[in-house]
Structures are given as structure tokens and as C-alpha cells.
């Protein structure tokens, strides 16, 4: 006879962007390892990119499956096959993408209606505000997945209440009120949902998302309690206690193949081997890994400053080259002779990089990051100090967490954030000198501050690993979430919210 756990079926619906899909796939494995069935619903193109890890998990005996829904790209005015946010040829199609997300409601409802066993809980990205209707229809809890950390959430909450940023002139600094430490920002560094100067086109979407979040039964967070301390507790209070800290989710990838193919099933064993051989050729903690995310878009001059800053730091490095201006960037690489000049000391990875695999290698000594939360948490989990170079969204909040709260990072000096559609403004860039100096501050093994940073980073990495191990705080949070869903399933009573 099946156990009560085995009778549960968790439905996971990730938003179409690497930074949203990856942690949801990782979460699916963490849930399945605790004995429940997990059904992930995504589109065909995303299934190709992310399916290999799920297939291996299922082959290992976990009760986990991947179901596909047709993405209405052409109906929404998108190019055929454009099923992920990073595939958009232009951010002018932002609203079209969200129109397609709205159109997914009916076909996903049909998939859920035909599921066996019947669904017990929906864990859905907050960008699917209609998920609350799905929960109500099947009288099951909808649990929201946000993708941001607690520090960011608390900062955003305090700003929303006080509106101090709205009365501050453009470019002028202000302090986030009612926090134990002093955190200074300017208006351009705030995410769009807090920045009244940003495009109003998304206002309706944001309001729908906000309304949906208030009706969610609870929230799962890709973080761990020990990392964020009082900020985690404050966020739990804001959400009425229904918060489960289940991260770092990337640590669900335990073998090199899963790490290599996390986010791109096209990474081959041969490519992995070549990369590992290059990393193996360097001594411990000597290589700088630089990657500015899947959504960053740079003009030639910005990329040039980053690349030359890495070169002039005189440390071996890996630099990931991707984005929508690759042709112009490749032209500079060729004209400047950059790749030839760095041969033997620098490695360029074009397109998707197996980041978790790279960060876990002992030769990596620092991570130059755009401070997206997934990347930041992956760096923390690897026990690495960071060079921070935020671009947009909540990334400047994440930078403050790393540099000021955790004390494991050095800012490369980014002073201004970017708006959607303005990702290519070179005056918002960081100079090669700033990049070089930040790298040297982190990598100087004779420097007391650098050594203290590295020590703290290693301690956090160990805490992260313990959090997801059996008996750790995040492992227990996953167990508590499962127990809560079991309780609701047994009682057949309607939860207060979310259904």
C-alpha cells in the first residue's frame, strides 16, 4: 500500500527564463527525494533545454516527470520557438511574452485536470498570477515561488511603506529605513516594481502579480535561514509564517553531469572534459570566473572594459561571452587580438556555461557576478568571495547583501541600474581599472581583508551544504512543506488563502 507521502502529487510550473526554471527543476528533485511525486509542466523548447536532468532523476528511481504544454508564441506575436525570456530578440516584445503566459492558463488547466494521481499542491512562479484560480478549482494550496531573497523582500517592503525613494531626486542617494544597518541606493538601482521612473507598460502585470501573491497559501524561498538571519525572520512575519526556506536549490545537483547539463542539455561529456582539464591545470583558488547572467546585454565598449580589466588583473580567468550583441563583441575580440593574447591564461566560453560545475572546482578563487540571486547563491554555496557588478532588477539589493551583510564581496563600482530597453547604455558601465582593482582586492592572498573575506565565504559555503543535508534547516523546511500539504489533503478543509 502506498504511503501518504506517495499519494501526493506536487505540480511545479516554472516561468520561462533560466533564472526561474533552474531553481524550480532543482526544487522538483529535492521534493521527490523526500518521497512525493512531482510533476513539472513546461514548454517543449524548455523541456529540451532542461529535461536531461529530470530524466536522470526519474531513471534513478525518483517519482518525477516532465509534461509539456504548447507555448503560444506566434499567437502572442513572438517568433516561433521563442519560449524563454532570454530568447527574446528585443525587450520591446516583453508584453507579448506576458500575453503568451496568460494564454497558458487554459492548456495547463487541461493538463492538470487529466493528472493521475490528482494534484495535491501547486508550486508556481509568481509570474503566473492565474495560478490562484487553478488552486481554487481543485481545492488545493497554491504556493508561490518568487526567486528573490528575504533581504530584498524586506528592503522592498520598507520602501513600499515609506516611499522615501519616490521623494528623492533622480541620482541622489537615500537610505532604506527601519533596517538594522545603513543601506544606501539611488533610484536607478531599484527594481522596476519600486521605480516609478520605469516603464508603466508593466503596471497592470505587476498589479496582477501582487494580487496573486496576496492570495497564495504560502511562499517557498531559495535561501536558507542561517544565511539571512533576522531578515529571514522578518520576511516570515510579513507572510504570516507560511514561508519555507528550501535553498540553496542548486545543491540538489550532486554529480558532475547534472552540474554540467543544468540549464542546457546540449553540454556534452567531451565539452565537460575539456573544461575540467583546463581548470585542473591551475592551482587551487587562482582562477577568476566571470559571468554576467543570461539576460545581460552589452555594447562592445562595455564588454571590452570587462575583458581588459580581467586581463590586466594578471590572474587566470574564465569569461562567458553571450547576449544579443555577440557579433559586435566577437568583432572586437578578433580585431583586438584579445583571445590570442590571453591564450594559456584566459578561457572564453561562448553561450551557456555550466556555472555550478565551474564554481565547484577547487581552482576557482573568485566569482565576478551580475548578482542575480541564483548566481549569487551558487557563489555562496561554492564558498567563494565575489566581485559584484549588478545590472538591473533586484541585483543591487543582492550586492548589498554580499558586500555589507555577509562581508564576502567587493563592488566593481556599478553606480547606475538599467531600465528595460536601456540595457545597452555604455555610460552605465564599469571601467577596466575598476574591474582590475576589485579583482585584486579579492584575490590578494597577502591582504588581511581579502583573507577574512575568503574565510567568511568558506564558512557560508559549509553552512549552505549542511542546510540541505538530511537534518539540515532547508531539508527540514521541505519536510514541513510536505507535512503541511499532507495535513491539508487529509482534512479536506479549505485553507485560509490560496485555493
SS (H, E, C) 18-49: HHHHHHHHHHHHHHHCCCCEEEEEEEHHHHHH
Q: Strands 184-185, 174-175: parallel, antiparallel or unpaired by DSSP?
A: antiparallel
pLDDT tens for the 499 residues of the chain, in order = 356 776 899 999 999 988 899 999 999 999 999 999 999 999 999 998 888 889 999 999 999 999 999 999 999 999 999 999 888 888 789 899 999 999 999 999 999 999 999 999 999 999 898 998 999 998 999 999 988 999 999 999 999 999 999 999 988 999 999 999 999 999 999 998 887 555 556 677 778 888 888 889 999 999 999 999 999 999 999 999 999 999 999 999 887 778 877 766 566 778 888 899 999 999 999 999 999 987 666 778 889 999 999 999 999 999 999 766 678 899 999 999 999 999 989 999 988 899 999 999 999 999 999 999 999 999 999 999 999 999 988 999 999 999 999 999 999 999 988 775 555 565 567 999 999 999 999 999 999 999 999 999 999 999 999 999 999 999 999 999 999 999 998 875 555 555 5
27: cell is 526544487
pLDDT tens per residue across span 481-495 = 999 999 998 875 555
SS3 174: strand
Domains of the chain: 9-153+161-168+196-251+466-491 (3.40.50.2000), 266-464 (3.40.50.2000)
CA separation for the pair 352, 321 (Å, rounded): 9
CA separation for the pair 429, 433 (Å, rounded): 12
334: cell is 578578433
CA separation for the pair 191, 80 (Å, rounded): 30
Under DSSP, the state recorded for 409 is: E
pLDDT of residue 50: 85
Q: Specify whether the CB–CB gap between 187 and 164 falls below 8 A.
A: no
Strand partners, 38: 10, 64
Active site residues per annotation: 20, 125
CA separation for the pair 424, 295 (Å, rounded): 12
- The values of phi and psi at residue 156, to 5°, are -60, -40
Q: Specify whether the CB–CB gap between 99 and 182 falls below 8 A.
A: no
Q: Specify whether the CB–CB gap between 334 and 326 falls below 8 A.
A: no
Contacts of 101 (CB under 8 A, 6+ apart): 15, 16, 127, 128
Length of the chain: 499
255: cell is 554529480
CA atoms 18, 23, 24, 26: torsion sign? positive
Q: Specify whether the CB–CB gap between 216 and 144 falls below 8 A.
A: yes
- Location of C-alpha cell 559586435: 328
pLDDT of residue 1: 39
pLDDT of residue 293: 85
Q: Mapped to the 3 state alphabet, what secondary structure does the chain carry?
A: CCCCCCCCEEEEECCCCHHHHHHHHHHHHHHHCCCCEEEEEEEHHHHHHHHHHHHHHHHCCCCEEEEEECCCCHHHCCCCCCCCHHHCCCHHHHHHHHHHHHHCHHHHHHHHHCCCCCCCEEEEECCCCCHHHHHHHHCCCEEEECCCCHHHHHHHHHHHHHCHHHHCCCCCCEECCCCCCCCEECHHHCCHHHCCCCCHHHHHHHHHHHHHHHHCCEEEECCCHHHHCHHHHHHHHHCCCCEEECCCHHHHCCCHHHHHHCCCCCCCHHHHHHHHHHHHCCCCCCEEEEECCCCCCCCHHHHHHHHHHHHHCCCCEEEEECCCCHHHHHHHHHHHCHHHHHCCCEEEEECCCCHHHHHCCCCEEEEEECCCHHHHHHHHHCCCCEEECCCCCCHHHHHHHHHHHHCCEEECCCCCCCCCCCCCCHHHCCCHHHHHHHHHHHHCCCCHHHHHHHHHHHHHHHHHHHHHCCCCHHHHHHHHHHHHHHHHHHHCCCCCCCC
- The values of phi and psi at residue 442, to 5°, are -80, -40
pLDDT of residue 260: 76
CA separation for the pair 472, 456 (Å, rounded): 20
CA separation for the pair 118, 371 (Å, rounded): 39
- The values of phi and psi at residue 298, to 5°, are -125, 145
pLDDT tens per residue across span 285-298 = 999 999 998 766 67
Under DSSP, the state recorded for 401 is: I
CA separation for the pair 475, 224 (Å, rounded): 10
Amino acid at each position: 500500500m502506498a504511503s501518504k507521502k506517495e499519494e501526493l502529487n506536487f505540480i511545479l510550473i516554472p516561468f520561462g527564463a533560466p533564472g526561474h526554471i533552474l531553481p524550480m527543476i532543482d526544487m522538483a528533485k529535492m521534493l521527490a527525494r523526500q518521497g512525493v511525486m512531482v510533476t513539472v509542466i513546461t514548454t517543449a523548447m524548455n523541456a529540451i533545454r532542461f529535461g536531461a536532468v529530470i530524466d536522470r532523476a526519474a531513471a534513478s528511481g525518483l517519482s518525477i516527470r516532465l509534461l509539456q504544454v504548447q507555448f503560444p508564441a506566434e499567437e502572442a506575436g513572438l517568433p516561433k520557438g521563442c519560449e524563454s525570456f532570454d530568447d527574446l530578440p528585443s525587450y520591446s516584445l516583453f508584453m507579448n511574452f506576458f500575453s503568451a503566459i496568460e494564454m497558458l492558463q487554459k492548456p495547463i488547466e487541461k493538463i492538470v485536470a487529466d493528472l493521475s494521481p490528482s494534484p495535491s499542491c501547486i508550486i508556481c512562479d509568481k509570474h503566473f498570477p492565474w495560478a490562484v484560480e487553478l488552486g481554487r478549482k481543485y481545492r488545493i494550496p497554491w504556493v508561490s515561488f518568487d526567486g528573490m531573497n528575504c533581504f530584498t523582500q524586506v528592503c522592498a517592503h520598507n520602501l513600499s511603506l515609506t516611499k522615501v525613494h519616490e521623494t528623492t531626486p533622480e541620482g541622489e542617494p537615500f537610505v532604506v529605513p527601519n533596517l538594522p544597518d545603513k543601506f544606501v541606493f539611488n533610484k536607478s538601482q531599484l527594481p522596476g516594481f519600486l521605480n516609478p521612473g520605469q516603464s508603466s507598460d508593466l503596471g497592470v502585470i505587476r498589479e496582477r502579480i501582487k494580487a496573486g501573491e496576496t492570495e497564495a497559501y504560502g511562499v517557498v524561498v531559495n535561501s536558507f535561514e542561517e544565511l539571512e538571519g533576522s531578515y529571514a525572520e522578518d520576511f516570515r512575519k510579513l507572510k504570516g509564517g507560511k514561508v519555507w526556506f528550501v535553498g540553496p536549490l542548486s545543491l540538489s545537483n550532486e554529480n558532475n553531469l547534472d552540474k554540467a547539463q543544468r540549464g542546457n542539455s546540449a553540454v556534452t561529456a567531451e565539452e565537460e572534459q575539456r573544461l575540467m582539464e583546463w581548470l585542473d591545470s591551475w592551482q587551487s583558488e587562482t582562477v577568476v570566473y566571470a559571468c554576467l547572467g543570461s539576460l545581460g546585454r552589452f555594447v562592445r565598449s562595455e564588454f571590452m572594459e570587462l575583458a581588459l580589466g580581467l586581463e590586466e588583473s594578471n590572474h587566470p580567468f574564465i569569461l562567458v561571452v553571450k547576449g544579443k550583441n555577440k557579433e559586435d563583441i566577437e568583432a572586437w575580440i578578433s580585431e583586438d587580438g584579445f583571445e590570442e593574447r590571453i591564450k594559456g591564461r584566459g578561457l572564453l566560453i561562448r553561450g551557456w556555461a555550466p556555472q555550478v560545475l565551474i564554481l565547484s572546482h577547487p581552482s576557482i578563487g573568485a566569482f565576478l557576478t551580475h548578482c542575480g540571486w541564483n548566481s549569487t547563491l551558487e557563489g555562496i554555496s561554492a564558498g567563494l568571495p565575489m566581485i559584484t557588478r549588478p545590472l538591473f532588477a533586484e541585483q543591487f539589493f543582492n550586492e548589498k547583501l554580499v558586500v555589507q551583510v555577509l562581508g564576502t564581496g567587493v563592488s566593481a563600482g556599478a553606480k547606475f541600474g538599467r531600465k528595460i530597453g536601456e540595457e545597452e547604455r555604455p555610460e552605465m558601465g564599469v571601467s577596466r581599472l575598476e574591474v582590475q582593482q576589485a579583482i585584486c582586492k579579492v584575490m590578494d592572498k597577502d591582504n588581511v581583508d581579502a583573507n577574512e573575506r575568503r574565510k567568511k565565504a568558506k564558512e557560508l559555503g559549509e553552512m549552505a551544504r549542511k542546510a540541505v543535508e538530511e537534518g539540515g534547516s532547508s531539508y527540514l523546511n521541505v519536510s514541513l512543506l510536505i507535512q503541511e500539504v499532507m495535513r491539508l489533503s487529509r482534512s479536506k478543509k479549505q485553507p485560509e488563502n490560496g485555493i
